[in-house]
Amino acid sequence: MAKQVWLNGELVPAEKAAISVYDHGLLYGDGVFEGIRVYGKRIFKCATHLHRLEESARSIRLVIPYSAAEITGAMRQTIDANCITNGYIRLCVTRGVGTLGLNPFTCQKAGVFIIADTITLYPKEMYDNGMAVITSSVMRNHPAALSPRIKSMNYLNNILAKMEALDAGVMEAVMLNHLGYVAECTGDNIFMVRKWDGRTTLITPPLHAGVLEGVTMNTVIDLARSTSIPVVHMDLSKHDLYTADEMFLTGTAAEVVPVTKVDGRVIGDGKPGPITGRLREAFHKLVANHAPED
């Protein structure tokens, strides 16, 4: 069956789904997007994703031409048209067609398109045995230049760090902020586990470190707290990563993936740790049993 893409109000064949070369989303990366999981035909955390999309759009003064209910209906229509039971949605809002200049006010109406497909970010063995990452020399965008909480269509900062990771023979890189503290990875949030005040604790960078507030990140934090695992947000250095007992990444596409090596240094005993395993299991149980759409 041919893939279908929802484009500005209607489904069109994927090979004919096109935007204008004058769209400022293409010309300048002027737009916002969400990546959303589908589990058992349910749109995981749909309301949460749409709230983040609306906040990102409002922050850059981009008016989304459809209501949340209309976009939700469009996503369901696209899922059904592509026979997706378990998969991934890419929801994009561009500034729209304008002139060959930076002025966004020449764009009369935002463009919206929705892709529904399957996705596999990392191979299964990395989930079973853990993955290696590096710390990138590419600094995370300064939060005073562009807020990391805007899920912008301009990912060049992340792409440059991703290229560095691939050149090093790994699939992910940790990005540091302008102060040298850990922000996040190129496409995932990062967690470490270690003793804190005598208790095994889950630690992740604070939002002010240059972090996109991840939907999966917050879901994992909620799962940890519901199983009495304390969670702390604090600034982390490379030293903290190197001395962690466990480490893992979270993301919509990645879900929960263990990290067992950073910059060639073995984390813990070199195997996915017990806290990582508990949280992975809890997450899979959550999405398998009536994945929440709120």
Adjacent-strand bridge partners of 43:
38
Q: Which residue type occupies 52?
A: R
Catalytic (active site) residue 151: yes
Q: What is the rounded CA–CA span in Å between residue 278 and residue 282?
A: 6
Cβ partners under 8 Å of residue 168, min gap 6: 134
φ, ψ at 46 (rounded to 5°): -55, -50
Residue 39, helix vs strand vs coil: strand
CA 252 to each of CA 166, 256, 283: distance values in angstroms, whole numbers, following the listed order:
21, 9, 12
Residue 117, helix vs strand vs coil: strand
Please tell me which residue in 41, 124, 151, 162 is annotated as part of the active site. Answer: 151
- Concatenate the DSSP letters of all residues of 211-271 into one string: ----HHHHHHHHHHHHTT--EEE----HHHHHT-SEEEEEETTTEEEEEEEETTEEPTTSS
Q: What is the rounded CA–CA span in Å between residue 247 and residue 189?
A: 11
The contacts found for 48-51 with CB under 8 angstroms, 24 or more apart, are 48/215, 48/218, 48/294, 49/91, 49/215
Q: What is the largest CA-CA distance in the chain?
A: 60
The catalytic residue positions are 151
